[in-house]
Structure 1
Amino acid sequence: SRYAGRAHPSACGLLAHSLLDRGVQEQARDLSSKIKQRRKDKAAKYTVPIAKVEGLSEKDVFGVVSSGKRHKKHWKRMVNRPCFVGQDFTRKAPKFERFIRPMGLRFTKAHVTHPELG
């Protein structure tokens, strides 16, 4: 109705400035998706299946530590199982420490064995 008797602008090859870069954007999107897919394929080469492990209950893992003058505060927890801590792990001050990790149960290296890694 608007273009009665005239050719449509897209038929003449005329496009608005906002539509001129549309092809470039699609090419960029395709390129970025190809790069992402290649990165996923490269990462998939080194993946190994992880066995399903049942989670432990909070009662088994943590013990309640009472604190305060009358031992009424029960917000501290003592870790009863070995746990992994990173190289940059530093303890908080004992007064503010919510989870107490004993030195004997702290591991900085993960001891992992897997039959497929051989």
Structure 2
Amino acid sequence: MNINWIILIIGGVFESIFAMSLGKMQQTSGKEMWLWLAIFLASVSLSMFLLFKSMGGSHPIPTGTAYAVWAGIGAVGTVVLSILVFREPVTFWRIFFLSTLIISIVGLQFTSAHH
């Protein structure tokens, strides 16, 4: 796995953080809400920057693949965090479709690596 994939994965993690911070902002007010806003702004900036960096350098990830994987990592991470933090329901179908998303992300990584 080249460094761009690691950068992209970290960017996807920060996407989950910025999505979760939006949920936390809706549940808070005052200084705590401003703290979550600061976390949102920092994580969205870092996430976008890391997405951008993963598409450059000596082994760039193609734009379509990078964006799809970045968004998929963010989606999977957000669902998992929502289950853990917000106590969202865990159902068979939710886990089934989350699993298909993970399989798709891995598949994109493998097909892009051989391209």
- Give TM-score, length-normalised by structure 1: 0.23
- Give TM-score, length-normalised by structure 2: 0.24
- Structure number with bigger Rg: 1
Q: Select the structure that is richer in helix.
A: 2
